[in-house]
Chain A
């Protein structure tokens, strides 16, 4: 089944403790992206990647890092999480900007 898999689905952590949210797709998509969704603000792009070793900032990249060492994986790294990063996070992939995007099921992160 074609899908984008995110892990974990739920995560509660403490301020300053580094964490990684994994994202993997099995559709051979070149493009991958991370979004956060907050009430009243909609989906906002954090980082995106056009291909392996090619990443770029989205609208809200502060406090996040990404890497794209393999085509299928695009992890989101929070080096020192803060409470304002409490949010619902989505990974998405696509063949490119003119194609449909497949979203993962989401990761609900709470930073206390």
Chain B
């Protein structure tokens, strides 16, 4: 069964600190992996998208990594800001699966001052 598991479920950090969010997946055959940021009550906004051949992709203070062998991805946030408080969702796309995306349940990050 295609699944995406994220950890931790929630995280609280101090402003200025770094943090890393984890995503493990069992989707096959793998097409691509995306990280989205979702502010409360708003639509998800794309941060990164990685294919099988990419193992690192950055978007400002956000850096995503992908290990296709172990089927793991991480999202590293550097020098966190209060505006980083949001839910971060890992989404995996499978080839030949229509266009269905498999969503993780998200990690809720709270950045406090």
Q: Is the CB of B105 closer than 8 A to any CB of chain A?
A: yes
Contact of B41 among A44, A56, A108 (CB under 8 A): A108
Contacts of A33 in B (CB 8 A): 99
With A44-B103, A98-B93 already in contact, the answer to whether A56 and B43 are too (CB < 8 A) is no
In the complex, A64→B50 CA distance in Å?
Answer: 32
Nearest CB on A from B43, distance (A): 3
The answer to whether A42 touches B106 (Cβ under 8 A) is yes
Interface residues of chain B: helix, strand, loop or mixed (majority): strand
The answer to whether A105 touches B99 (Cβ under 8 A) is no
Contact of B103 among A42, A98, A100 (CB under 8 A): A42
Interface residues of chain A: helix, strand, loop or mixed (majority): strand
The answer to whether B93 touches A97 (Cβ under 8 A) is yes
Q: Is the CB of A96 closer than 8 A to any CB of chain B?
A: yes
In the complex, A77→B49 CA distance in Å?
Answer: 31
The answer to whether B43 touches A45 (Cβ under 8 A) is no
Contact surface of B with A, Cβ cutoff 8 Å: 31-32, 34, 41-46, 49, 51, 89, 93, 98-101, 103-106
Contact surface of A with B, Cβ cutoff 8 Å: 4, 31, 33, 40-45, 48, 50, 56, 58-59, 88, 90, 92, 94, 96-106, 108
> What are 30 A-B residue pairs whose CB atoms fall within 8 Å in the complex?
A4-B43, A31-B99, A33-B99, A40-B105, A42-B89, A42-B103, A42-B106, A44-B103, A45-B100, A48-B98, A48-B99, A48-B100, A50-B98, A56-B98, A58-B100, A92-B43, A94-B99, A97-B93, A97-B99, A98-B31, A98-B32, A98-B51, A100-B34, A100-B46, A101-B44, A101-B46, A103-B43, A104-B43, A106-B42, A106-B43
